[in-house]
Structure 1
């Protein structure tokens, strides 16, 4: 009997079956993926997950997640889990939209603002790649992705949030500071504040207003996201900019560590 069990479990010496598993791919309920073409011809995979329950009177909040191929399923399942325990978490149901970045050169271009005369230094990630496509990408999100979601579901436009990590965090801050009406909030996780030799700090210095902002960072950041949060949390934005410290987390792990706080930031305080 023991030998039979070990053979079934694949013990050393057990024959290796070449028969395909009688299984079906795992799918996420209440979700859809479609390809959306930008005005420049680029094709983007857009994934959307929505709740089963009816929307609140003002509409669902929406969380737009960059690098959707990596982060969409995690964000959607985490949001659903937290919403099921809403009485304890204070988190309501919402729509999660993932936008796939695609190949690294396109991601680098799409997520970076224009910096005439400046290129990524040799010692930095994505050195040698083209940059400066942030405006075209944000136009794509504003003109095509947001309307796509709003046409199908009732959405609370004051509760639309953009979440990004690294260059995605840079893009989220750029959107908040230069297009403050586009989102009700942004979450920037380990934003690449080094990009453009202080570009975001300059934009923060001249910005008159911004939506709600959450900046999250782990250990060893080259620039000071906490200092940026303090500088933004004043003037016309008192109490609207927050910093989340993620001790023990590196640049590569901060997005996962910040996922639940980002969802709380996006989906809490919505009446049912």
Structure 2
């Protein structure tokens, strides 16, 4: 099913929630910033990697590293007081995976990468090209790697967890759009856990004012697809967290943000995930 053309018909209210213009990297006394470009293997896709590098010397094992989807917007959301908090712990190297563009979101590109059949290729890009590129430039603790994403990005985090559960140690999924991709919800609820390696930490977050987007805008006119989407419960994020908390090899938690809608969760979910990646406590 090809849903990308339907993105043109997103409700105006949803689109109005998205910031339009990118902001410059924050000035920081505890982090410095670098920007890298990376093309897909065939040269058709162009990615921007914004690195926030701790000024503090790395530990002997290297920096913990946190990969953030929707990197253009993640960079714009960073605050100096957050970064100073991280400096009080074991500050992670932040790798914000975005796109070569002036704005914060590219709906077509993020939909391609984070959902559907193309998500396998994007996961391979992270594993085989982005990670090695980062590790070739900076000392990284490969036993302390995190992945964070919101909305379609949160959906991708859960997809990647079930495909390659050993790829990251910490998995942060905010407002995962599980309704959009019912097979990921089904796979989540059937996931039997991890037998190898250390326990993986999973944090799933959602706002109390979130609801399903109008499914008719995304079902491609297929009644079968519509029924599959509608079968994913409103509380799918909470249900997945509950199930994962009961399987071996996973320590899962759920965080509800009272009074926040879908777009507001982006920033609210980013802050505690950053703290956890730095080995600090989050306000749960």
- 2:179 partner SS: coil
Aligned to 1:117: none
Contact 2:26–2:79 (CA under 8 A) maintained in structure 1: no
Consecutive unaligned residues in structure 2, runs of 5 or more: 1-23, 213-233
1:45 corresponds to which of 24, 31, 48: 48
Q: 2:61 aligns with which of 30, 54, 58?
A: 58
After TM superposition, the structure 1 stretch with the greater mean CA deviation from structure 2, 254-263 or 205-214, is 205-214
Equivalence for 2:257: 246
When residues 191 and 56 of structure 1 are mapped into structure 2, their CA distance, relative to the original with a 3 A threshold, is same
Q: 1:56: Cα distance to partner?
A: 1.2
Secondary structure of 1:100's counterpart equals strand
- Provide the rounded CA distance (Å) in 1 between the counterparts of 2:70 and 2:96: 7
Deviates more, 1:34-43 or 1:169-178: 34-43
Aligned in 2, Cα 1:138/1:195: closer, same or farther, shift over 3 Å? same
**What TM-score results when the alignment is normalised by the length of structure 1?**
0.75
Greater CA deviation, 27-36 or 140-149? 27-36
Using the TM superposition, give the Cα deviation of residue 243 of structure 1 relative to its aligned residue in structure 2, in angstroms: 0.6
5+ residue gaps, structure 1 = 1-24, 114-131
Question: Cα–Cα, structure 1 residues 111 and 265, in superposed 2: closer, same or farther, change >3 Å?
Answer: same
**Deviation digits for residues 163-192 of structure 1, max 9, x if unmatched?**
100000000011111111211111111000
Q: What residue in structure 2 maps to residue 263 of structure 1?
A: 274
| Pick aligned residue for 2:38 from 30, 36, 39 | 36
Q: RMSD of the alignment, in Å?
A: 2.2
Q: Contact 1:76 / 1:96 at 8 angstroms: preserved in 2?
A: no
Asked if 1:218 is matched to 2:207, the reply is yes
Deviations 1:117-167 (A, max 9, x none): xxxxxxxxxxxxxxx210111111111111111112111112111110000
Whole-Å Cα distance in 1 between the matches of residues 153 and 201 of structure 2? 17
Q: CA deviation at 1:97?
A: 0.8
Question: TM-score, normalised on structure 2?
Answer: 0.72
CA deviation profile, 1:4-60 (whole Å, cap 9, x unmatched): xxxxxxxxxxxxxxxxxxxxx776462111210121321101111101111112211
Match of 1:148 in 2: 133
Larger Rg: 1
Deviation at 1:78, TM superposition (A): 5.4
- Pick aligned residue for 1:158 from 135, 143, 146: 143
SS for the counterpart of 2:273 is helix
